[in-house]
Structure formats: structure tokens, C-alpha cells
Copies of this chain bind each other. A is one copy, B any other.
Amino acid sequence: MMNAATNQGQSAVPLDKFLALPDFEPAAKQVLPHPVYEYIASGAGNEITLIENERAYDRIRIWPRVLNDVRSVDTTVPLFGKMLSSPILLAPAAYQGAMHPSGELGTVRGAGRAGIPFVVSTNTTIPIEELIKEARAPLWFQLYTQNDRGYTSDLVQEVEASGCEAVCVTVDTPVLGIRTRQFRAGFQLPPGVSTPHNRRGGGAGGNIDPSLHSHLQWQDIDWLRSIVRSKLWVKGILHPDDADRAIKMGVDGIMVSNHGARNIDTIPATIDVLPAIHERVAGRVPVIVDGGIRRGTDVLKALMRGATAVMMGRPYLYALAVGGEDGVARCIELLTKELIYVLRLVGKASVKELDRSLEWPPVAS
């Protein structure tokens, strides 16, 4: 079992030894209790999609250009009239209090140092009111709805009142996924760690009641649209028809996600379905993609295939486990720096210039 002292941020390994995002996982595996590591690392079924989320990026070839003016590089992304400092966000992930004593506070501080948004999970172990006090960058809220509309409505009002700038409703989890590996590891929330915003999932760890979300349907998006005053994203879209329907209901943005490959195995990698969704969305709303982001080249590929921004998940959780706030900040710094270098190396001075002409072989039009 984890010795609580070992991951208080005083890691034996100095953070400057972490040179790329893949470095964090083996270090986190050393420091985390096995069930917690398994909770983060595992995917659904035989984990074919889990692997595919990364391999799909690996297969994409970037076709670089040379001799353009890349003396300065612009990574800012306009979004709803403001600017994100970079096209990178931190994806929602539950139970961070089981990963590091600082829990989501470490994450919000690390994100704040880089100035990038953090999407807080409904299953946060720290109340949103405490997180917002430490936030130096936008907080967004990931929403698991519950059968009780009153509870959901109260929750939305509460997080918006706290200052969350967006609500991202997860639509891909009517029941919990086929998480064989996670169930085998027997992950449970440690004593003293709870989920203040989830009445039912709190003490249950991975064993959430399967009936929890199965009610959520298209008409609920209409209802959510009527009560959400901040920006409303739907998270978990993989099909262009579903993206289109959600946009017609007035959502502000589409999150292309396969839930980190935790729900159904052998569904496509998100980066592979992105082009079809990008084409259907046709610029009406921004599109964010998550799943498999490990390198600056991955961010570049997502953007050249039409994403407005990306969300990174597991790497920052491993970094949190290894180094708390400092780990998260280091993780973001490495990915951002790689993106800036890669932009220069492919001859593009701005993320706004990225499109599929950067992909080899040329995509048939």
C-alpha cells in the first residue's frame, strides 16, 4: 500500500528529470497504490481502444514545410470572445484525492500556473467552492446528471455561482463501462476521501450504480440548455449526426471523446472520427477532442484535423501523483513547449494556420 508520505510532492525524483509526458506513468506506478494506478491506467474490455487512442496519433504523418517565418509562435485560441493561452485543457477525471493528498487542489494550482482551463469532474474530491479560490485560470465543470432534476439543477447553479465558466455534460455513460481491469483491481475511495458533489457515487468508488445515468436522453439536453447560463458542452460525441443534433439544440461546443477508452472497447480512436465531425460541425461551434494526447505532435494533429483545442487526461494524473501541483505544472509545461517547438519545426507560426494540408499522404478531397 501507498505510504502517504511518499507522494506529498517531495518526490525522490526531481521533476526536471521528467523530459516528456510518457515519463510520468512509470514513476506514478511506483508511488501509487496498485488499485489507484489501475483505476487511472485501465480501459474497457481488452483495452484495444485504450491502445488505439495513442496508436492512431502515431500513425498520422505530419508533412512539414520549411523556411517560413517562425521566429515567434502564437498558440492562443479564441474561444467565446476570450483567448485561451494555448489549445490545451485538463480533462475531467474523478477521485484525484486518491491520487495525491492535494487532490484537485494540486491540479487547479498546476493548471493556474500555466494559465490553462481545468475541467473539474462531478466526482471531484474537493468542493468546487474551494477549488475556485485557488483558480488562476478558467474552471469548467464536468456534469454527470442524475435522475433527480432538482439535484442536477441545484448543482449547475452552485458551480456556476462559484464561477465555473462552462458545464460539460457527459452523454456517453448511461451505464458504467465494461471495466474488467479496474474491477479486478478492486479500486475503492480511500477512507476520508469523498465526492461532495455526487450524492450517490461518493462512497462507492468504481462501483457506481449502473442505473445512475441511464435516464439521460436528448430531451434532457433541451432542459439543460434552458438551465445552463454558462457555456454548455456535450462530452462524449463520436458520430457526426449526434454532433449535429446537439448543435441544433443550442449547445455551445462539442467534446469528441470516447471516455478515455473506459466505456466500450473497440470503438474508434477519437482522432480518427474527428475529421467527419469537424466537417459536419462546419465551424458552427468549437470542437474539443480528448484521448491519447501525449506529445506536442499529437496536439498539432488534433488541430490540423479540425479540433479547436485538446484535453489531456492520464498524463497530468500521473504527474499529480508524482509531484502534486509541481508535477501538474511540469506536465503542462512539457506539452506546451513541445507544441511550440513542433509548430516551428513544421513551419507554422500559429495554431490558427493548422489544417489538413499538413497531413501526409494528402487526404483525398
Nearest CB on B from A253, distance (A): 15
Copy total for this chain: 4
Segment 249-292 of A: residues with Cβ below 8 Å from B: 263-268, 272-273
Q: Can you give 27 A-B contacts (C-beta < 8 A)?
A: A19-B184, A20-B178, A45-B295, A58-B266, A61-B266, A62-B264, A63-B238, A63-B268, A64-B238, A65-B242, A66-B234, A66-B236, A68-B218, A69-B217, A70-B214, A71-B215, A174-B344, A174-B347, A175-B344, A175-B345, A176-B341, A177-B345, A178-B338, A210-B341, A263-B345, A266-B301, A273-B360
CB pair B178–A45 under 8 Å, yes or no, is no
Chain B: CB-nearest residue to A245: B67
CB pair A180–B345 under 8 Å, yes or no, is no
For A22, the chain B residues whose CB sits under 8 A away are 46
Segment 153-195 of A: residues with Cβ below 8 Å from B: 171-178, 180, 183-184
For A61, the chain B residues whose CB sits under 8 A away are 266-268
For A210, the chain B residues whose CB sits under 8 A away are 341
Query: Is A237 part of the contact surface with B, judged by Cβ < 8 Å?
Result: yes
**Top-10 shortest CB links A-B:** A66-B171, A67-B218, A20-B180, A174-B344, A61-B268, A264-B345, A175-B344, A268-B360, A19-B180, A62-B267
For A220, the chain B residues whose CB sits under 8 A away are 67
CB pair A67–B242 under 8 Å, yes or no, is yes
For A175, the chain B residues whose CB sits under 8 A away are 341, 344-345
CB pair B64–A239 under 8 Å, yes or no, is yes
Nearest CB on B from A83, distance (A): 24
Nearest CB on B from A365, distance (A): 16
Query: Is A114 part of the contact surface with B, judged by Cβ < 8 Å?
Result: no
Segment 21-41 of A: residues with Cβ below 8 Å from B: 22
Known: A46-B295, A242-B67. A264 touches B184 (CB 8 A): no
Nearest CB on B from A362, distance (A): 9
For A239, the chain B residues whose CB sits under 8 A away are 63-66
Segment 207-245 of A: residues with Cβ below 8 Å from B: 210, 214-218, 220-221, 234, 236-239, 241-242
